[in-house]
Structure 1
Amino acid sequence: MKTPMIWLGAMALTCAGMVVASGDSPKAQPTDSDAKPAAAATPASDSKEIAIREQVQAFANAFNVPDVDALTELFTADAVIVDPAGSETRGQPEISEMYATEFENVPGVKLECNVGEVQFLTADVARVGGQSRLSTGTGDANEFTRFSALAIHRDGKWQFAELREYAAPAEDITPYDRLRELEWMIGDWVDESDDDKISSSIRWTDNKSFLIRTYSIEIQGEKASSGTMFIGWDPQTAQIKSWVFSSEGGHGEGLWTRTADNQWIVKAQGTRHDGQPNSATQIHTILNKDVVKTSSIDRIIGGQLAPDIADVVMVRQPPQPQSQPQPKSEEAGKSEK
């Protein structure tokens, strides 16, 4: 039988998705008096703005491949890039070299861009503003910036003549922005063997500032323990942090670090219900979207080394089918009349 007390706070991680459906009821057909003129053609300015927004997305796509040549082609020959520190990179050759060096030094780096305002200075020149999020391949750092780009229409295509980046102010970055790398955790998970069962459920708080995990452990059919964990962004340590409280009265906290695309490490410490301090390093490995493996190593309880616990495998549970209301029988309908 697996030892159930694997440091009850962070034993399972989860993954989920969401399905949203909506529909409109049929509308009455308009009469001749209600008829409206056909919609006007899309204004030229709108089509230009769409084209510029598509270029920003093309920039992010090329960055994430990464494709240095495709990135370079999005800039004019004499373009300039200014980073948050004020350093300038001028011209396509230097821009190409800069990106090639960055991708070599930080493999797997990823970029997200969200365009805010597109302001046309002339028919062929526009100023583009927005926000971006840069994450390393290991996910151990995220950089949030604002950007301002000067787009020029030349030879039938839009290119960037200037790109400036600025450090994003604190109000730009929400707790959800910090935590969404853990959004895959949402859902219900279970690890069940002949002797014990570990169940875990994770959901967002209403404002998505925290993830809440509830768990329970059963041994030979009897409930042995349960607890609640909150996972959030700690501005003091500038790191994802968790706080856990067990049904026995113990409590603990952990600092989260992403060490690979499919792996998180949690440095956890706390106090047991009997007052003994404990600590451990938890390694959470995402095997696929429905399976997560957890190991707990370097375990210390009351100042004494404890055996490692390896390969606790949590499997995501499918959503429970919604029960359909049973139609009333004809006899039941008569009795109600």
Structure 2
Amino acid sequence: MLLGMCTPTQAAEEDSSVRDVIKEYVAAFNAKDADKLATMWAEDASHVDHELMQTTTGRDQIMADIEVVFSEPDDIKLFGSIASVRMITGEVASITGEVGVSISDQDPSLNRFSAIVVKNDDGWQIDSMEEMPVPQPLSSAAALAPLDWLIGDWQDATEEDPVHTHVHPAVGGAFLLRSCTSEAAQSTQIIGWDARAREIQSWTFNSDGSHGHATWAQNGGDRLLRTVQTLADGRIASGTYVIHRENDDEFTIKLMGREIDGQPQLPTEPVTVRRMPAVSN
């Protein structure tokens, strides 16, 4: 992605250098080079393994876990691929892809990963990484089935200019179409399954000319929507929406970690959204 502050050449160089972080990490891991790996994690980094439901915080603890793996007699190797790199700012990037582990003669296991890397005086470092099993849906419609509860009409509980939302499946069910309307604005969102990245993604277009892209991740019972948006004036906004499903007829949504051109913004209060009763004919 090209940022307003970057020339195309700069953006290409940054994309390449970010990809090199993962390549260098895999090479260092396969060489059991713990010293090199330690320099590639930020001091307060975090690692989340969704399959094991484990969160590890801090470089020291992450490296302690890696040292345990290195002490095992089995020959353990990493391999993988990068699906996408998105420059959030000149010093922050988001990476998604797949990572596999082969252990001696066992069949390799494959996980999907998403990472945030930050650039500082020591170069690019991993700030956070999440790993989750690779889903194997039979179709795009099957991949979106966990979001079927969103289908219908909704309205948020705010008193000023409430937003009405309508969600319905596209023909064939490969996409969900979500339209949001208030007196002041209107937006259209397309939610679909990216078979290459193996994740749910969405594309949003707003009436003021702004537009954005998000990746949807599962975090326990919540959905995390990591977004990058081009505002109407050309600035870049990013943040994470947290959707918490209370029940089939109510959910809350909150925007966290919002930045505009790298500048942190004040967090927003959660908004409650309720299903509107069906209109009888």
Q: TM-score, normalised by structure 2?
A: 0.52
Does 2:202 align with 1:237?
no
CA shift, 1:305, in A, is 1.3
Whole-angstrom distance in 2 between the partners of 1:321 and 1:290: 18
Alignment match, 2:219: 259
Which among 208, 228, 242 is matched to residue 283 of structure 1? 242
Whole-angstrom distance in 2 between the partners of 1:266 and 1:143: 18
The one-letter amino acid paired with 1:276 is R
Does 2:178 align with 1:203?
no
Unmatched 5+ stretches in structure 1: 1-104, 108-139, 145-171, 218-222, 323-337
Whole-angstrom distance in 2 between the partners of 1:235 and 1:283: 23
Alignment match, 2:261: 302
Whole-angstrom distance in 2 between the partners of 1:141 and 1:274: 39
- RMSD over aligned CA atoms reads 2.0
Alignment match, 1:180: 145
Alignment match, 2:227: 268
Does 2:173 align with 1:189?
no
The one-letter amino acid paired with 1:207 is G
- Aligned pairs for 1:62-73 (under 5 A) are none
Does 2:209 align with 1:249?
yes
- Change in Cα spacing, 1:310 to 1:279, as seen in structure 2 (3 Å) is same
CA shift, 1:235, in A, is 2.0
CA displacement 1:274-317 (0-9 Å, x = unmatched)? 11110111100001111100010100123321111121000001
Whole-angstrom distance in 1 between the partners of 2:144 and 2:247: 20
CA displacement 1:152-190 (0-9 Å, x = unmatched)? xxxxxxxxxxxxxxxxxxxx8211111111111101000
CA shift, 1:321, in A, is 1.5
Whole-angstrom distance in 1 between the partners of 2:196 and 2:237: 23
The one-letter amino acid paired with 1:205 is A
- Change in Cα spacing, 1:141 to 1:184, as seen in structure 2 (3 Å) is farther
CA shift, 1:273, in A, is 0.9
What SS is found at the alignment partner of 1:195? coil
CA shift, 1:249, in A, is 0.7
The one-letter amino acid paired with 2:164 is S
Report % sequence identity. Answer: 27
The one-letter amino acid paired with 2:147 is L
CA displacement 1:241-266 (0-9 Å, x = unmatched)? 00000011111000001111x31101
- Aligned pairs for 1:74-89 (under 5 A) are none
The one-letter amino acid paired with 2:256 is I
CA displacement 1:215-236 (0-9 Å, x = unmatched)? 013xxxxx21111000001123
Unmatched 5+ stretches in structure 2: 1-50, 54-131
Q: TM-score, normalised by structure 1?
A: 0.43
What SS is found at the alignment partner of 2:197? coil
CA shift, 1:106, in A, is 5.5
Whole-angstrom distance in 1 between the partners of 2:215 and 2:135: 19
CA shift, 1:143, in A, is 4.3
CA contact (8 A) 2:202 2:215 kept: yes
Equivalenced residue count is 154
Whole-angstrom distance in 2 between the partners of 1:300 and 1:141: 29
CA contact (8 A) 2:154 2:164 kept: yes
The one-letter amino acid paired with 1:311 is P
